[in-house]
Amino acid sequence: MAGKGRLWERRVMAAGLLVLALVVLGAGYRLLRVGFGRSCDDFLYPYLRLARVSSSRLSNQSLLAYSRAELAEKLEALQDQNRNLAMQAATAEKLLRENAQLREISDFSPPQEWSAMKAEVILRDPMTWRERFTVDRGEVDGVVSGSAVIDIGADGRPVLIGVIERVGKRASTVQTLQNSGLSIAVQFGSNRTVGFVNVGGTPRGDDLLPVGYLPCGERYRHNESALTTGFERGIPAGLLVGELVSVEEPGTEFANRPYLSGWLKPAAEFDNVRFVTIAVPKPKAER
């Protein structure tokens, strides 16, 4: 029995010594790894730095080998390359915006009594850039004069740009709200008041549109939305036209006038229109 007890004690002692040895080896390995790594870094640093310095000196010497004219030529080539890269980036960004605009227009669903078709702006006159443009849809596509031309705003709401003015066989001319000859009825949601855009004044230099025949006895709120009324046969009701910026005060000067005039900020961005939706009223038999 005594022999067996001593054997068991030896085994326990051997196991303890083995565990202690493993702990010591692990700690030593970590210390050795850190120390060896630092030593290697210190040892290799001069050689690595020498290679980097040599590469820099070689590049500088190669630059010194060029004449001033050659350096200027290389600099101009790099500038051209940078300009080309900047143009490519701008083109890619523009394509992304147009792609997003196309998706928004494709998702637009007009009321049941209307049909919608996508169109692309194909011609703009610099002299009437905001007042008129031409789209690639015409008589063969079912476009009729007076049809509403719609864009999708940043918040996803359909925005009225203008109406079809002239219809050709395969192209049509759009008259926008920036054209003072286009007058449409709008309605303000707070009091259901109706006014008329491009009536009672002239467009201002800050692109605001005049809105006239506003009843004098009503109250108007700043930034109130102006929506289409549906009075015009070719324009669906509820399209966003813009926001009311100001209305003249009904003081003594206007005491005998039943109507007021104001200014409207259009919701459409006339400068950046590329794709639009044309809403065409369906024949009564198809409704």
CA distance 278 to 167: 12
> Is the Cβ–Cβ distance between 154 and 163 less than 8 Å?
no
- Looking at the structure of the chain, the number of domains it has is 1
CA distance 14 to 159: 87
Can you give the pLDDT at residue 207? 82
Residue 162 lies in a domain: yes
The contacts found for 242-245 with CB under 8 angstroms, 24 or more apart, are 242/177, 242/209, 242/266, 242/267, 242/268, 243/267, 244/188, 244/211, 244/220, 245/208
Residue 104 lies in a domain: no
Residue 94 lies in a domain: no
Per the DSSP assignment, residues forming a β-bridge with 278 are 117, 149
Residue 147 lies in a domain: yes
> Is the Cβ–Cβ distance between 239 and 225 less than 8 Å?
no
Q: What is the β-pairing status of strands 225-228 and 240-247?
A: antiparallel
H helix or E strand, kind and range, residue 186:
strand 185-188
Domain span at residue 185 reads 114-286
State residue 165 phi and psi, 5-degree precision. Answer: -95, -50
pLDDT means per 10 residues, the chain with 287 residues, are 61 69 62 53 51 54 64 75 70 54 54 81 91 94 93 84 94 94 88 87 75 86 90 90 86 65 91 88 66
Count the neighbouring beta carbons within 10 Å of the beta carbon of residue 212: 16
Structure tokens at 67: 């004449």
Closest C-alpha among 262, 189, 261 to residue 226: 189
Closest C-alpha among 132, 141, 197, 208 to residue 168: 141
Closest C-alpha among 176, 174, 195 to residue 264: 195
Closest C-alpha among 159, 120, 149, 151 to residue 137: 120
CA distance 105 to 100: 9
Per the DSSP assignment, residues forming a β-bridge with 197 are 211
Q: Which residues make Cβ contacts (< 8 Å) with residue 268, sequence separation at least 6?
A: 151, 153, 159, 160, 161, 176, 177, 242
Whether the model pTM is above 0.85: no
Residue 145 lies in a domain: yes
Can you give the pLDDT at residue 60? 57
Strand blocks (E) in 59-184: 114-123, 132-135, 148-152, 158-167, 172-176
Residue 42 lies in a domain: no
Provide the CATH number for the domain around residue 149: 2.40.10.340
Can you give the pLDDT at residue 44? 46
Residue 126 lies in a domain: yes
Residue 39 lies in a domain: no
User: First-to-last CA distance in the chain?
Assistant: 108
